[in-house]
Copies of this chain bind each other. A is one copy, B any other.
């Protein structure tokens, strides 16, 4: 619905707006957006691309934070758990949520050439899947959709 990520846009505003929204949500929910967590979120927001946990970790280390995997994973877990970031399972990588204010099921468009990722709002459990789940008596709690393909920029860039 609003696939940011393949278009030029005011990225500084995009980042700051996102951080502000997350701050609000944290205040409202009594969550601590600590320095490490905040930095990780900022890193994710710096590019509309999924970052691996160890890529995050390298940057944390360079900034004088902890240098061991759990440091990165814990911050990422926090962000994912509260809906401020998403894990792209297909890439084993993480990306900032583009609408952290809302409760939503996520769907992603993943470019297999440049690895950029766009998030679209998806209605959860509609269509065949929802019907199949209902028939089977399966209780859906969370749905993730990942579409792989080629983004407009890479289509222009090269054939194939």
Which residues in A have some Cβ–Cβ distance to B below 8 Å? 1-3, 6-7, 89-90, 107, 109, 111-112, 118, 120-123, 125-129, 131-133, 135-152, 155
Nearest B-chain residue to A5, judged by Cβ: B136
- Whether B6 lies near A131 (C-beta < 8 A) is no
A160 to B147, CA, bound (A): 32
Minimum CB–CB distance for A151 against chain B, Å:
6
Most interface-central of A90, A139, A148 (chain B CB within 10 A): A139
Q: Choose among B131, B146, B150 the residue that contacts A138 (Cβ–Cβ < 8 A).
A: B150
- Can you sample 10 A-B contacts with CB below 8 Å? A1-B131, A6-B137, A90-B144, A109-B136, A109-B138, A111-B138, A138-B147, A138-B149, A145-B145, A145-B146
Residues of B within 8 A of A90 (CB): 89, 144
Minimum CB–CB distance for A152 against chain B, Å:
4
Query: Given A112-B141, A142-B148, A143-B147 in contact, is the A127-B123 Cβ separation under 8 Å?
Result: yes
Residues of B within 8 A of A6 (CB): 136-138
Minimum CB–CB distance for A109 against chain B, Å:
5
- Whether A146 lies near B89 (C-beta < 8 A) is yes
